[in-house]
Amino acid sequence: MPLSEHEQKLLEQLEKQLHEDDPKFASQMGSVPGRSWSTRHLVMGVLATLAGVLLLLVGVSTQIIIVGVVGFVVMGAGVYFATMRSSAVGKARAAGRKQGKPRSSFMSNLEQRWDERHGGES
């Protein structure tokens, strides 16, 4: 069932507010436009996965445990690399980030939000 125009506008406003309030969480949820599958990552990941499977099979057949373990690790890294998404938006944000301001920790971020909500009262 499609959303009405009013519901679509509300959803867009909620997404925009989420990106403004907590961009890190919004990017982790994958709702950032501009994130796409990279063919280069996919091809290199598949090749690494195949190489890892080959190493794993060689390690098992020769009964050399370290070769099998290395093959398994290479295989896992290949799958991870193949499923990574590239983000042109994330790179642009990182380049535009203020250089002088250090990143705040989780707790200091919460304290800052608390102070903002309560007008700086301590």
In-domain check, residue 28: no
Q: What's the mean pLDDT when you consider all of the chain?
A: 78
Given a cut of 50, is residue 11 above it in pLDDT? Answer: yes
Mean pLDDT value across residues 81-100: 59
In-domain check, residue 26: no
Q: Is 41 exposed, middle or buried (0-12, 13-18, 19+ CB in 10 A)?
A: middle
In-domain check, residue 23: no
User: What DSSP designation does 68 have?
Assistant: H
Say whether pTM exceeds 0.75: no
Helix (H, G, I), strand (E, B) or coil at 102: coil
Lowest mean pLDDT among 50-54, 62-66, 82-86: 82-86
In-domain check, residue 54: yes
In-domain check, residue 70: yes
Domain span at residue 58? Answer: 37-85
| CA angle in degrees (0–180, nearest 5) for 37-20-103 | 85
Q: Which of 36-40, 48-52, 82-86, 102-106 has the highest mean pLDDT?
A: 48-52
In-domain check, residue 109: no
Given a cut of 90, is residue 75 above it in pLDDT? Answer: yes
Residue 115 has a pLDDT of: 81
In-domain check, residue 45: yes
Residue 14 has a pLDDT of: 83
Residue 47 has a pLDDT of: 95
Residues whose CB falls within 8 Å of the CB of residue 80, separated by 6 or more in sequence, listed in order: 45
Distance of CA 45 to the CA centre of its chain: 17
In-domain check, residue 118: no
pLDDT higher at 32 or 84: 84
In total, how many domains does the chain have? 1
